[in-house]
Chain A
Amino acid sequence: MTSSSSPSRKALSKIACNRLQKELAEWQLSPPAGFKHKVSDNLQRWVIEVTGAAGTLYAGETYQLQVDFPEHYPMEAPQVIFLNPAPMHPHIYSNGHICLDILYDSWSPAMTVSSVCISILSMLSSSPAKQRPVDNDRYVRNCRNGRSPKETRWWFHDDTV
């Protein structure tokens, strides 16, 4: 499946724009290890290269995260998905949707793009096996119309991975 179509996004509010500029400046000053922001002038969409940590199942492999910001960020969580091909992980669907609570119900404005990236790398690093989620095929079929992962009612139950 090709990468998800982007949801129709309203332009960033002044507050969102200002906060993202500061996050970006901070990122450039000290980016999290293993991540590289692909430079573009689109502040509302960040594409970030993530390299698997050494000593993990994904060591040396490179994937791309797409982060889209809503109009009222950080009151609302950003939409974060892996671009195709998504890593094989029990909580990452083949369409790139990520089952991680801080991207949905547990989001807080205390988090940043940087802290979200570190959480995703941590999730990859603790993976016990390279496999898809058990309900991958059914879920991906239901998302064929380009549905956003933020519209999914996630059931977070696995704290070990």
Chain B
Amino acid sequence: MDSPVPATLARAPARPQARAGEEACADTRQDAPAEAEPPPRRPAAFYSSVFAQIEEIGWKQLVSATGDGVSCLTFRVVDEPGRMHLLEITLPMGYPESPPSISADVPYLPKIHWSKNSRLKDVICQFQAHLKILQEFWNTMDEIDKVLWIVDPTKPSYAMSHRRIALGDDCYILLQVDARKPNSLPECRFLGTDGKLDQLIINWRKNRKKWDTKKKFHENLAAVLDFALPSPPSVGDKAKDDEQADCGICYAKHLPVDDELGAHSGCATDYMCENPSCSRAFHSVCLRDWLRSITTTRQSFDVLFGNCPYCSDPVAVKITGH
């Protein structure tokens, strides 16, 4: 019964990376006696089989192994253009008769073809084929991000297929790109102040049949809206924006540029809750407006005292520009 394990250990020292496997095996044996009611144990053949398959894939690609040592494996998979992905493979108790499940940061997961003779390398290969299929989607999203003024999300994940695009004058279009047919007409809705927005909606309804799946996405969008889409703001501004936290009240990094806000027009967040577990950022203008709108706020000279909307710890904000 125990004989296969020593065989694996004997092979392991031959390669530096293999020590991770050895340690994992050792951890497993140590953990077993410590547990009062140990979970159902896997046969020793399971571990030697998994180690052999990891070796087949390459230990360098293994990022982590958790669970009962090796029931949840995370592999690094690089696609052809060089994007790095993490593929998490979970081995159920019934493995290999039961197929492993996978998760990854992709807009949709592939259906894994599995038989009890399949190997983990087959899962990796199927995922790589899936990544190849998704290249068209990611190329489309990358081009949108490069050419258009994306206000949300600021740091999109590979799974995200939505974009909020600024059209100027406080008008936005919220797009949902079909990950399976990325060059097809997207779902969209218009957000912002009326007036200019009405014309864009009319154009969209009138022109959307002209969407041409062979043309570039942003060219289609400009043609359908009959509108010159603004370019993204300069890289310098964006880099600076990324450092700023969103306000916990208005959800923006910067206040709108508005005469009513006076000196605070366009300001970044300038107040932070002092509770270290909270540390929520606010514009002092937003926090002041909130504190003024509730009855429990106390005032002393030119300072408003109240509670953080998130953690209820005390906050104090000066009344400036009174």
A contacts, CB < 8 Å to B: 11, 14-15, 17-19, 21-25, 28-29, 39, 41, 43, 72, 74-76, 108-110
Contact = CB atoms under 8 A, between A and B. Distances in A.
A25 B189 contact: no
B193 interface: yes
B227 interface: no
Contacts of B193: 11, 17
B248 A17 contact: no
Nearest to A14: B256
Contacts, number: 69
Contacts of A43: 191
A155 B192 CA distance: 37
A23 B251 contact: yes
Contact of B174 (A17, A25, A72, A110): A25
Contacts of A25: 152-153, 162, 164, 174
Given A22-B152, A25-B164, A17 B170 contact: yes
Interface in B139-187: 152-153, 160, 162, 164, 170, 172, 174, 176
B282 to A, nearest CB: 9
B52 interface: no
Contacts of B170: 14, 17
Interface residues of B, number: 30
B250 interface: yes
A74 to B, nearest CB: 6
A108 B309 contact: yes
A21 B172 contact: yes
Contact of B258 (A14, A28, A29): A14
Contacts of B289: 72, 75
A19 B194 CA distance: 17
A109 B152 contact: no
Contacts of A39: 189
Contacts of A29: 160, 162
B191 A19 contact: no
Contacts of B229: none
A39 B190 CA distance: 11
Contact of B290 (A22, A41, A109): A109
B133 interface: no
Nearest to A29: B162
B204 to A, nearest CB: 10
B201 interface: yes
B250 A18 contact: yes
B280 to A, nearest CB: 8
Nearest to B287: A109
Given A19-B251, A19-B252, A24-B174, A109 B162 contact: no
Given A19-B249, A109-B309, 16 more contacts: A14-B258, A15-B250, A15-B252, A18-B256, A19-B250, A21-B192, A22-B252, A23-B251, A25-B164, A28-B162, A29-B160, A41-B201, A72-B289, A75-B290, A75-B293, A110-B309
